[in-house]
Structure 1
Amino acid sequence: MRIILSILALSFFTVVCAQDKEVEAIKKQVKKFSNYLMTDKREEVVKMYTSDAKIFPDGTDILEDDGLSNYWNPENRSWKTTYHKVTPVEIKVIGDEAYDYGYYEGESSNGNQSSRWKGKYVIVWRKVEGEWKIYLDIWNSIKSE
């Protein structure tokens, strides 16, 4: 009986450690995403998505394929993201998929004006060739007080 309990405890510990490792990998991807936005590397932002990804920006239709690329294309954006921070509330890994939800905040500038914003998001992640990529990405704003 002791052996069985030891094996179960070891198995549980192994699963928890693996979960923690994957959560940390996703958190690194989240930081890369923010960095790419702030350094205007929009082509790198697009590469963070799976090939069949969909995005659900606030106030628009669901975008995929060229729509997703066009959304992040710097030539289509007159405002530059000068600050971007994501604060996950929960990240749950289930095999090669995960979900992540929380809050984001940032600031944009067009050279003459700046705008602060914040909102909430949900992301579904997929592990593709050993790397976590965004499959579904939905976000919407929270009105400033």
Structure 2
Amino acid sequence: MKAFNAGDAAGAASVYDPDGYFMPNGRNPVKGRSGIEAYFKEDMADGVQTAQIITEEVNGGGDWAFERGSYHLDGTKGRESGAYLQIWKKVDGVWLIHNDCFNVIKNAC
């Protein structure tokens, strides 16, 4: 989130598998790192200024793991809060997010 909070969409997307999926609430899935970067740029242009994730569970084995938690996005429209689930995959010895989805619980006003 450091990269996202610094306005660096490419840096924020760099932790995603190049063949990964990002499944935003209420929108079509986005495939690939470049698509995820474009989504982050759109979020930033729409006024999202900071993101905070709160990891509540991590588990897995071998080359796969999952992370579940909650998040807050703060920006010009207020605060959005929700829950997320990420599936991590070890690719060439590096852990990357392979699938990422979230559910909005409270929309920004």
Alignment of 1:132-143 (within 5 A): 132-143=95-106
More strand by share: 2
Which 4+ runs in 1 deviate beyond 6 A?
none
Q: 2:12·2:37 contact (CA, 8 Å) conserved in 1? A: no
C-alpha displacement of 1:141: 0.8
2-structure distance, mates of 1:88, 1:80: 20
Percent of pairs with identical residues: 24
TM-score, normalising length: structure 1: 0.65
- The gaps in structure 2 that reach 5 residues or longer are none
- The gaps in structure 1 that reach 5 residues or longer are 1-33
Higher relative contact order (CA 8 A, sep 6+): 2
2-structure distance, mates of 1:143, 1:75: 16
Q: Is 1:43 aligned to residue 10 of structure 2?
A: yes
TM-score, normalising length: structure 2: 0.84
2-structure distance, mates of 1:80, 1:86: 14
More helix by share: 1
AA aligned to 1:67 is: G
Q: 2:9·2:38 contact (CA, 8 Å) conserved in 1? A: no
Q: Is 1:122 aligned to residue 85 of structure 2?
A: yes
C-alpha displacement of 1:74: 5.6
Alignment of 1:65-104 (within 5 A): 65=32, 66-73=34-41, 77-81=45-49, 83-104=50-71
C-alpha displacement of 1:80: 3.7
Alignment of 1:57-72 (within 5 A): 57-65=24-32, 66-72=34-40
1-structure distance, mates of 2:82, 2:23: 13
Cα RMSD (Å):
2.0
1-structure distance, mates of 2:92, 2:81: 32
Residue of structure 1 aligned with 2:94, choices 128, 131, 136: 131
1-structure distance, mates of 2:4, 2:44: 14
AA aligned to 2:37 is: S
Size of the alignment, in residue pairs?
Answer: 106
Aligned residue for 2:106, secondary structure, equals: coil
